[in-house]
Structure formats: structure tokens, C-alpha cells
Amino acid sequence: MFKSFLDHDWHLDPLFNRQSGVLPPHPFLYILSSSLWETNFRWLDAKIKRISFRDLRDPKDTTNDDLHDCREDLVYIQHHIAECINWTDPSLVTFLEEMEPRNKYELGTIRNPISNLRRVLDDSEKLQAFLSDTFQLLMSSISVRDSRISAEEAVKSSRQAILNAYQARQSAWLTQLATMYLPLSVLTGIFGMNIKELNDAHASFWWPIVVLVILMGCTGIAYSILKLKDGWRPTGLRFRKQKGSLPNITP
């Protein structure tokens, strides 16, 4: 836009013309600079407040980087506004103060660019304090988010523990049912396949009961031995670890 503006002579003539009533280039540049820096500051102010009032409710991983970028932009704006104010020609201040509006209705709408730059610089210092508070709020929001995530993870872990306990109980039930099913299966296999021979031998009715009791006893003994073996294994492993960790003491 600037290049297109400066390419036309009829745009430059009003700026650099020596005729009376034409705004000189130096005041015009300060008016333009004041407008640009105020626009940049307003954009940055809106961005910081959007992050503070909206994004901090559920901060993302990039929120901290965004705030640091805003802090860098704010320092940049403050530095260059201070440069514009420090290098102001005293005659420019006098010229701008002596400018009169064309009518009385423009008295409240015209701003001195130097005074406006000072006002923007003061507002930037207030925004810097607000930005510092926003960093503190970010830390608090992250702590709240981490606490909420930890609570959700604790609930999930509790549900998973309940599910694991239920599955373990079901496994125990299946083991007990298998302990009862195995002797019955063996018993029905023995007497079911030899039912003709049993009828011919006129065996007593209590023979299947005796065999069932013997099979259940053998199954229970085998199950108990396996349980005892599983219980002894960690104890022996801990004993070996403790024995291996003892220091070698030599006289």
C-alpha cells in the first residue's frame, strides 16, 4: 500500500509542498507513526486479553509460548514508542499544539500524536502488569488441570482395580468349578464306558461314590500342592535376593 501511495506524484505533492495550509511531512510522519503504534498496541492488547479470559480456562501446551510471544511484542512496542518520543523535535511539539481544528466540533476528536504516544506507552505498562498476572493465572490453571487429570486417572485406576478384582474372583470360581468338574468327568468316563461290565459284575451302587471321593481327594491334594508351591516360590526368591545382597566380610 505504501509503495502504491508513493508511486503517484499527486500523492506526494500535498505532503511535501511548501504552500501554506499543507501539512508538512515531519508532522504527518508522526501522526502516521502514532496511528500505527496505537493500532499495533490495540491488536496486542486484544490478543493478551483473549488468552487471559478464554484460553486460560483450559490451557494448551502452546499457551505459555503464546504469552511469551506477546511479551516479546509488547517490549518491542514499548522500545520503539520510547524512541519516537525521545527523538521528537521541540518545534514539532509547538507546531502540533498550535494546530487548530477547523470547527469547534473537532476539539474532542483531534489528538496530539506525541501525547497519544505517551498515552499508549502508559497503557503498555499497565498491559505489562496485566500480562504478569496472566502468567500467574496460567500456572494456577495448569495446576488445576493437572489435579483434574490426576483425579480422573485415580478414578480410572480404581475402576480398573475393581474390574481386575472381579476378573480374579471369576477366575477363582472357574478354578473351583474345574476342581469339581474334573473328578466328575473322570468318573463318568470310567463308569459310562464300562456300564455293561458293571451290570454283568453286579457292582454295588456305592462304588461310584467311593471313586468320586477318591478322585476329589486326589484333585484337592494336587491343587493344594500347587498353591503351596506358588507360595513358597516368592519366599525362596526373596531369601536368595537377600542372601545375595549380604556383603562379603573377610577377616
Residue 8 has pLDDT above 80, yes or no: no
Cα separation, 152 vs 65, whole angstroms: 27
Looking at per-residue confidence, does 20 or 116 come out higher? 116
- The pLDDT of residue 166 is 87
Looking at per-residue confidence, does 128 or 251 come out higher? 128
Q: Which of 140, 138, 120 is nearest to 68 (CA)?
A: 138
Sequence-distant (6+) residues with CB within 8 A of 118 are 85
Q: What is the pLDDT of residues 125-163, one digit of tens each?
A: 999 999 999 999 999 888 888 888 888 888 999 999 999
- The pLDDT of residue 239 is 46
What's the rounded mean pLDDT across residues 112-128? 92
Highest mean pLDDT among 3-12, 87-96, 129-138, 183-192: 129-138
What's the rounded mean pLDDT across residues 174-189? 71
* H/E segment holding residue 65: helix 63-86
Q: What is the pLDDT of residues 37-64, one digit of tens each?
A: 999 999 999 999 999 999 988 888 899 9
Give, rounded to a whole angstrom, the gap between the first and last alpha carbons of the chain.
93
Distance of CA 45 to the CA centre of its chain: 25
Q: What are phi and psi of 23, to 5 degrees?
A: -70, 125
What's the rounded mean pLDDT across residues 155-179? 83
> What length is written for the chain?
251
pLDDT category of residue 229 using cuts at 50, 70 and 90: confident
Q: Where are the alpha helices (DSSP H) in 87-206?
A: 90-98, 113-193, 195-201
- The pLDDT of residue 132 is 94
Cα separation, 28 vs 19, whole angstroms: 15
Of all residues in the chain, what percent carry a pLDDT higher than 70? Answer: 64
Q: How is 203-233 classified by DSSP, letter by letter?
A: --TTHHHHHHHHHHHHHHHHHHHHHHHHHHH
Domains and CATH numbers, the chain: 2-159 (1.20.58), 165-244 (no CATH)
Of all residues in the chain, what percent carry a pLDDT higher than 90? Answer: 26
What are the percentages of helix, strand and coil residues in the chain, rounded to 5?
Answer: 85, 0, 15
- The pLDDT of residue 78 is 95
Looking at per-residue confidence, does 84 or 211 come out higher? 84
Q: What is the pTM of this model?
A: 0.56
Residue 88 has pLDDT above 60, yes or no: yes
In the three-class reduction of DSSP (H, G, I as helix; E, B as strand; rest coil), residue 37 is classed as helix
Q: What is the pLDDT of residues 99-108, one digit of tens each?
A: 655 555 555 5
Residue 251 has pLDDT above 50, yes or no: no
**Alpha carbon distances (Å) from 170 to 15, 96, 150, 198, 227:** 91, 89, 30, 39, 18
What's the rounded mean pLDDT across residues 76-95? 87
pLDDT category of residue 67 using cuts at 50, 70 and 90: very high
